[in-house]
Amino acid sequence: MQESTLRTNFALNTTIGEIVAADYRTAKVFENNGIDFCCGGKVALSAICQEKGINPDTLLREIETIKNEHIDRSQNYTSWELPFLVDYIVNTHHAYLKENDEQIASYARKIAGVHGAHHPEVIEIATIFEKIATDMAAHLLEEEEVFFPAIKRAYAERKTGNAPSQEDCNVIKESLAKLGREHEEIGDAIHTIRHLAKGYALPEDACNTFMITYQKLKEFEDDLHKHVHLENNILFPKASQL
């Protein structure tokens, strides 16, 4: 078998999550092609191409082009040490959620009240977002108070050549399963919102608050994709090896 064929087969059997974990810039290619790389990242490239009717060669070429561009270490998340990755997630993505969740929920409630009669989808969007915000608060708390500290302790033990405590191993194992499930639920909920909002296309009678709400929801979704990607595809596999 020729070397190029081997390479192609390898890439086609690789999952979307693995490709993005190896180089986050490839996320743009998947986004542009309407492919979910975080919550739905466990699917092989060949399977998703078949499902979406995309030519795999074109997609591979786009991925190769982006990968050949120079990459800065500040974007090379896989190369970071676990404690640094954990702090990065908390200081960027968790901070974003804590600053924005309540504001977006209140915008969504407002447009539901004003525009709900003509656009019933915004009532549903407000209800779903409310649940996301509540679930997310509990999710972040568990990561910051339970899961991440256990990862840091286990990492420190490994670093000095010792085995992590049984208690931390149990916490990591249980959290991985539970948090992974929650990522899927939250991911599904935000996809439902995108679907209801027709990809955040504004109706003709949209007011400023309507526009800001959709902009914020889109921003929320983008932030969530990156956040869940860093956890599902980089942090979780590394944590499970501790």
Could you give the CA distance from residue 11 to residue 18 in angstroms, rounded to a whole number?
10
Stretch that binds Fe ion, among 6-14, 138-146, 150-158, 192-200 (CB under 5 A): 138-146
| Candidates 2-10, 71-79, 125-133, 143-151; binding stretch for Fe ion (CB under 5 A) | 143-151
The residues that bridge with 44 in the sheet, in sequence order, are 15
Q: Which residues, 6+ apart, have CB-to-CB distance to 14 below 8 Å?
A: 44, 45
Q: Which of 116, 128, 111, 88 is nearest to 215 (CA)?
A: 111
Number of amino acids touching Fe ion (CB under 5 A): 2
Count Cβ neighbours within 10 Å for each residue of 116-133 and write b for 16 or more, e otherwise: beebebbbbbbebbbebb
Residue 219 Cβ vs Fe ion, minimum distance, rounded to whole Å: 17
Which stretch, 50-58, 101-109, 127-135, 142-150, contacts Fe ion (CB under 5 A)? 142-150
Residue 50 beta carbon to Fe ion: minimum distance, rounded to whole angstroms? 30
Closer CB to Fe ion, residue 143 or residue 168?
143
Stretch that binds Fe ion, among 34-42, 69-77, 165-173, 228-236 (CB under 5 A): 228-236
- Min separation Cβ 231 and Fe ion, Å: 5
Integer Cα distance of 131 and 185 in angstroms: 11
Tell me: does residue 168 bind Fe ion (CB under 5 A). Answer: no
Build a one-symbol-per-residue string for 93-132: x at contacts with Fe ion by CB under 5 A, - elsewhere. Answer: ----------------------------------------
Query: Which is nearest to 92 in space by CA: 102, 79, 77?
Result: 77
Structure-token match 């954990």, residue found: 86
Find where tokens 């908390």 sit.
90
CB of 58 to Fe ion, least distance (A): 33
Query: How many helices (H) and strands (E) are present in the chain, helices listed first?
Result: 12, 0
Using CA atoms, how far apart are residues 132 and 104, in angstroms rounded to an integer?
11
C-beta closer to Fe ion: residue 168 or 231: 231
In the complex, least distance from residue 97 CB atom to Fe ion, rounded to whole angstroms: 8
> Least distance in Å: CB of 210 to Fe ion?
29
Q: Which stretch binds Fe ion (CB under 5 A): 5-13, 96-104, 201-209, 227-235?
A: 227-235
Counting contacts by CB under 5 A, is residue 231 touching Fe ion?
yes
Measured CA to CA, the distance from residue 22 to residue 17 in angstroms comes to 9
Distance CA 182, CA 35 (A): 20
Residue number, 36 or 231, with CB nearest to Fe ion: 231
Nearest distance, CB of residue 140 and Fe ion, angstroms: 6
Q: Which two tokens stand for residue 179?
A: 């948090």
User: Which residues here bind Fe ion, judged by CB under 5 A?
Assistant: 143, 231
